[in-house]
């Protein structure tokens, strides 16, 4: 089998922080207020961006967590990106930081001077559980007034959110009461959600229909395609390269561009070569893993469970299962 190496990066982002005002039920990275209040420092930002550049990617987006919880530090990251020649396509925000129109315009105007061109503004029932829609509307209006572009993600939900009092947050249960018992399933047809992170717990009651043995029987090969896909990568404030959409699995950025050592990355090597079967076998042998649930959504669901079990039951420092808080702040 070919060597496991990340040779070229295509499209991705920089995770500046994992702490957030919300614990959205679909969050791929398990961001929440429980995370340590750490934000990427200028040196780490420069190192990450230079690494991204060296592997062929000249533009990134910035996300979290909520990057605008530390606007001064975000401004520094924007300046660093400009200095090293990396374009920032957009900065993601959930708008929780909005207080009033004037302070929002002042903040966004300052960030615009430092390189902010576009805000991706999250619009969804998941965010509305903890963030009033009026704040989202306020951010959009303020951005337009100071010349910052808006990338609304997604406008399809505006009509849903508009049925409620915009000054308050509203639970998914309230949406279900208005739009029907099938509302969560309908969301999957309107909104791209990867079945990872907190989405697994949210959607398993609806989609978890496969047994442990079925998952193993249906997935006999390795996960090379998923692990080497660089069309939507992320590098975080700790210098972790997150493999594709596999949150909680990482490579140190120093190891990008060269073949990965099976000794340093035994879990990733096993997944690359033998897939979920290889990971399960490793966990069975090392920590006596046994399935914790009756049914799963897919192999990614089972993989996340196995990795969580390894973190909880292994005395060794499993650096490839980073950041560790992903497994404790779910």
Residue 271 has pLDDT above 90, yes or no: yes
How buried is residue 162: exposed, middle or buried, by Cβ count under 10 Å (0-12/13-18/19+)? exposed
268-286 average pLDDT score: 97
The model's confidence at residue 330, banded by pLDDT at 50, 70 and 90, is confident
Poorest-pLDDT segment among 68-77, 250-259, 307-316: 307-316
Please answer whether residues 65 and 48 qualify as being in contact, where contact means their C-beta atoms are separated by less than 8 angstroms. Answer: no
pLDDT at 314: 85
- Model pLDDT for residues 237-262, shown as the tens digit of each residue: 999 999 989 999 999 999 999 999 99
How would you list the strands of the sheet with 118-122, edge to edge? 149-153, 118-122, 87-93, 59-63, 12-15, 233-236, 240-242, 250-252
pLDDT at 80: 98
Report which DSSP code applies to 14.
E
pLDDT at 257: 97
8-27 average pLDDT score: 98
Distances (CA, A) of 71 to 79, 110, 174: 12, 9, 33
The model's confidence at residue 316, banded by pLDDT at 50, 70 and 90, is confident
pLDDT at 317: 80
The 10 Å Cβ neighbour count of residue 192 is: 8
112-117 average pLDDT score: 98
Q: What are phi and psi of 171, to 5 degrees?
A: -75, 160
Exposure string of 238-256, with b = 16+ CB inside 10 Å and e = fewer, is bbbbbbbbbbbbbbbbebb
Is CATH 3.20.20.70 correct for 12-192? yes
pLDDT at 33: 97
Residue 207 has pLDDT above 80, yes or no: yes
Q: Is the dihedral of CA 318, 196, 62, 99 positive or negative?
A: negative
Residue 2 has pLDDT above 90, yes or no: no
pLDDT at 152: 97
């Amino acid at each position: 089998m070919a060597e496991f190496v990340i040779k070229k990066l295509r499209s991705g982002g920089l995770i500046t922080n994992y702490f957030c005002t919300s614990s959205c039920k679909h969050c791929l990275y398990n961001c929440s207020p429980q995370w340590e209040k750490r934000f990427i420092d200028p040196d780490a930002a420069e190192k990450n961006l230079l690494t991204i550049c060296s592997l062929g990617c000249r533009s990134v987006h910035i996300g979290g967590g909520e990057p605008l919880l530390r606007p001064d530090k975000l401004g520094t990251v924007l300046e660093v990106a400009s200095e090293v020649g990396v374009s920032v396509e957009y900065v993601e925000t959930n708008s929780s930081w909005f207080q009033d129109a004037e302070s929002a315009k002042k903040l966004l105007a300052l960030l615009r001077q430092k390189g902010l061109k576009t805000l991706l503004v999250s619009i969804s029932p998941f965010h509305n559980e903890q963030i009033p829609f009026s704040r989202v509307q306020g951010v959009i209006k303020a951005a337009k007034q100071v010349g910052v572009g808006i990338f609304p993600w997604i406008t399809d939900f505006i009509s849903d959110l508009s049925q409620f009092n915009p000054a308050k947050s509203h639970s998914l249960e309230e949406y279900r009461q208005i739009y029907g018992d099938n509302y969560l399933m309908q969301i999957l047809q309107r909104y791209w959600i990867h079945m990872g992170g907190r989405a697994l717990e949210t959607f398993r009651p609806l989609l978890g229909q496969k047994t442990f043995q079925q998952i193993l029987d249906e997935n006999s090969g390795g996960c090379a395609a998923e692990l080497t896909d660089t069309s939507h990568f992320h590098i975080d404030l700790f210098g972790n390269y997150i493999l594709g959409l596999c949150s909680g699995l990482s490579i140190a950025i120093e190891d990008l561009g060269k073949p990965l050592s099976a000794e340093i990355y035994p879990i990733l090597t096993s997944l690359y070569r033998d897939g979920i079967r290889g990971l399960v076998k490793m966990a069975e042998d090392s920590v006596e893993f046994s399935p914790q649930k009756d049914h799963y959504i897919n192999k990614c669901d089972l993989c996340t469970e196995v990795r969580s079990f390894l973190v909880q039951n292994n005395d060794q420092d499993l650096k490839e299962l980073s950041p560790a808080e992903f497994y404790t702040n779910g």
